[in-house]
Chains A and B, each alone.
Chain A
Amino acid sequence: MHKPFPKLWLWQLLLAALMFGLWWALTAGNILPPFFFGEPLKVVERVFAWFSSGAIWEHIGITLLETALAFAIGTLLGLGFGLWLALSPTASALADPYIKAANAMPRVVLAPIFAVWFGLGIWSKVALGVTLVFFIVFFNVFQGIREVSPVLIANARMLGASRRQLLSHIYLPSATAWVFSSLHTSVGMAFVGAVVGEYLGSSRGVGYLILQAEGAFDINTVFAGILVLTGFALLLDALVSFAEKRLLKWQPQHTERAGN
């Protein structure tokens, strides 16, 4: 693979600077009203103030905790149900229409219900994240198990594998590989669940900060919140890439996933 041009990162940085410059010029020159579009310098200042005072950490901590819990619980549930339904044709035939319906439903509308059930603390956000993560993992595992090569199964059976050994040596590792292939998407979804949950009603978290600022028409703080969220989303994604490399070392280096 050859690089499109040398020092790509430098140009990428320049592009970011250019965008901020454009934003600044448009709002400072009053071509775009700063009241609605914010002022980049004040946004940066706000972000800086958050970090220098340390006030932001409590909120980031909450949001990341919700993300982690939603991801862990959603993945475990998805893995369990995926394995179970993939290996039991009767159960999967029975559950099929309901799973399709539950997946088709826009699950964000569940947020108010979760708020009623679990209160305004972290658990209503975790629940929303779980509903988002669950289906991604579930469908990946389900498909992955269905597509395990019959030759692998036949070979293991000829080598004397019992049903339980088939599960632990073939189905489970195969399913785990599929969970990892959807890791980027599911971690992202857990984050979305946490932030949207906070935005819809909470007392802490980055989503809460954005909600508060919006209520006060403080558009700069809204942008600052978005900037912080984006930064941490990128950080999570890098973390996932790192984990992927460590845990899937048996896989041939696949081409970088496209987009997202």
Chain B
Amino acid sequence: MSLPKQPKEAAASGAALDFRAVTVRFPPRQKGDKAFTAVREATLTVGAGEFVSVVGPTGCGKSTLLNVAAGLHRPAGGEIKIFGHVLQGLNRQAGYMFQADALLPWKTAFENVILGLQFRGMAEQEAADLGNYWLMKVGLGHAGDRYPHQLSGGMRKRVALAQTLIVDPKILLMDEPFSALDIQTRQLMENELLALWQADRKSVLFITHDLEEAISLSDRVVVLSAGPETRPIGDFQIGLPRPRDVAEVRLTPAFLELHERIWHAMREEVLKGYAQTLS
């Protein structure tokens, strides 16, 4: 791997992700229109080893925040620090799991998994071993030579997960990665994600519109206001014990109480966001 493993203390010189008054604008679509301000002065941190979910109404600029964290989109104002260093260009410490399918259709599951290793110039044999190891780890040891179109939605997500984790990023950015899956597959994948995360505690910024998913996975849930000019309006510690089973934890009184509190904070924004989609 290109980045040597460091002890957690050395990496933790500052929060993993530190958004400071980040403002994101998109240029106007037509002449005469005003620039669209998706995010306004958002301040948000993800500590080293912390699992933070961001929830918010549809179309509130959640994905925009992730793109900023990834370095794919440059903010118009404010700055973002990665382990204490101001981010310039792409975020090399982060792995990004997209909402849409991002596997290369002309490569097999195995070839997709080792893509990041190839880009880093890892020796072929070493990459193959690591690739097979990760395929096994996500339960696809038997499906390495299949093409994405021959895999189910859940299997494709497993490949994408292995593809993202194999390069061992310190930060994991996830944009509603399981939203396209049916509920059973989704809970399986969530449990699997938690198990993988538990093993080496990466810092995770997880975007979702599903509050239950957010609570059952996270250490902290941040609520965003309805767009445009989105900003965080609530920050909730989730003290539920780990390891968790995402299906079972939903039935505990502590979960229900958290759900009610956060939902109370969200409700108004969700209604606002919904009203905007109608207008």
Q: A residues engaging B (CB < 8 A)?
A: 149, 151-152, 154-162, 165, 169-170, 173-174, 177, 249-252
Contacts and interface: CB of A to CB of B under 8 A. Distances in A.
B236 interface: no
Contacts of A251: 105, 149
A184 B118 CA distance: 34
B106 A173 contact: yes
Interface in B86-104: 90-92, 94-96, 98, 100-102, 104
Contacts, number: 65
B104 A160 contact: no
B104 A158 contact: no
Contact of B106 (A151, A155, A250): A250
B70 interface: yes
Interface pairs A-B: 4 shortest CB-CB: A155-B102, A159-B116, A160-B119, A158-B96
A155 B98 contact: yes
A81 B94 CA distance: 35
A151 B100 contact: yes
B72 A156 contact: no
Contact of A249 (B94, B116, B147, B163): B147
B142 to A, nearest CB: 18
Contacts of B148: 250
Given A157-B90, A160-B167, A151 B149 contact: no
Interface string B102-145: 10111110000001101110000000000000000000000000
A160 B102 contact: no
Instruction: Report, as a range, how many residues of chain B touch the other chain.
Output: 20 to 34
Nearest to B120: A160
Given A157-B72, A169-B118, 19 more contacts: A149-B102, A151-B98, A151-B100, A152-B104, A154-B96, A155-B98, A156-B104, A159-B115, A159-B116, A159-B119, A160-B92, A165-B118, A169-B119, A173-B104, A249-B147, A250-B105, A250-B106, A250-B108, A250-B149
A3 B108 CA distance: 34
Contacts of A154: 70, 72, 96, 98, 102
B96 A156 contact: no
A152 B102 contact: yes
A249 B149 CA distance: 10
Given A149-B100, A173-B104, A252-B149, A158 B119 contact: no
A159 B94 contact: no
Interface string B143-170: 0000111000000000000011001000
B200 to A, nearest CB: 19
B70 A169 contact: no
**Interface-centre pick from B91, B95, B106 (highest chain A CB count, 10 A):** B106
A161 B107 CA distance: 15
Contacts of B92: 160
Nearest to B97: A155
A133 B87 CA distance: 47
Contacts of B2: 160
Interface in B1-52: 2
29 contacts: A149-B102, A151-B98, A152-B104, A154-B96, A154-B102, A155-B102, A156-B104, A156-B119, A158-B91, A158-B94, A158-B96, A159-B95, A159-B119, A159-B163, A159-B164, A160-B2, A160-B116, A160-B119, A160-B120, A160-B167, A162-B119, A165-B119, A169-B115, A169-B118, A170-B104, A173-B106, A250-B107, A250-B148, A250-B149
**Interface-centre pick from A151, A155, A162, A251 (highest chain B CB count, 10 A):** A155
Nearest to A155: B102
Contacts of B149: 250-252
A170 B96 CA distance: 18
Contacts of A165: 118-119
A155 B149 CA distance: 18
Contacts of A155: 96, 98, 102
A154 B167 CA distance: 16
**Interface-centre pick from B92, B102, B108, B167 (highest chain A CB count, 10 A):** B102
Contacts of A169: 104, 115, 118-119
Given A149-B100, A154-B96, A250-B147, A161 B105 contact: no
Given A169-B115, A170-B104, A250-B105, A158 B95 contact: yes
